[in-house]
Amino acid sequence: MDDLELQRLVEEISLAEFGKPFRHKAYFNSRLKTTGGRYMLNTHHVEINRKYLEQLGHQELCGIIRHELCHYHLHIEGKGYKHRDQDFKILMKAVGAPRFCSPLPGDYQRKGKKRDIIYFCKSCGQRYHRRRNINTQKYVCGKCRGRLVKINGNETI
């Protein structure tokens, strides 16, 4: 699929799902790494990550397009176009657009936490997962104020 076919697909989805024309440009942007698509506020263009089409298929691409068109149409109409806005949430639900795109099964997917340090409360057994070390002499359990002990990630208590 090239940019011209993508433009036609976006225009078709816009008319079919939203009942409104898409009057700006839609194109693939190979520099997008961690997101499926992007709506540009200044130019009103829609950029799509080609890897989502190649690795996850046409269905995922249509979902990303619907999501970006929600931003587009609401912004053009002067309504709430941000993820946290109620207008955006309602329109996404109405057209069946996904809130997030699926993770890519490749290099850009995060492979879990880099470092998972587990602290365990001696009194109540509460576990705390942290990325950084904490001073167990200074900090106590938030649940029962008991002493915290650092344990290994593979160990079970």
Q: Which residue has the higher pLDDT, 95 or 102?
A: 95
pLDDT, tens digit, for every residue of 64-96?
Answer: 999 999 999 999 999 999 999 999 999 999 999
Residue 142 burial (CB count, 10 A): 11
Q: Which of 54, 68, 77, 155 is catalytic?
A: 68
**Is 54 labeled as catalytic in the residue annotation?**
no
3-state secondary structure of 80: coil
Architecture category of domain 3-95 in CATH: 2-Layer Sandwich (3.30)
CA distance 92 to 84: 12
pLDDT, tens digit, for every residue of 128-139?
Answer: 988 889 999 999
The torsion angle over the Cα atoms of residues 100, 101, 102 and 107, rounded to 10 degrees, is -110
Tell me if the pTM is above 0.85. no
Q: Which amino acid is at 120?
A: F
130 DSSP β-pair partners: 117
How far CA 54 is from CA of 60, 106, 108, 145, in Å, comes to: 10, 12, 14, 52
Contact between residue 108 and residue 101 where contact means Cβ atoms under 8 Å apart: no
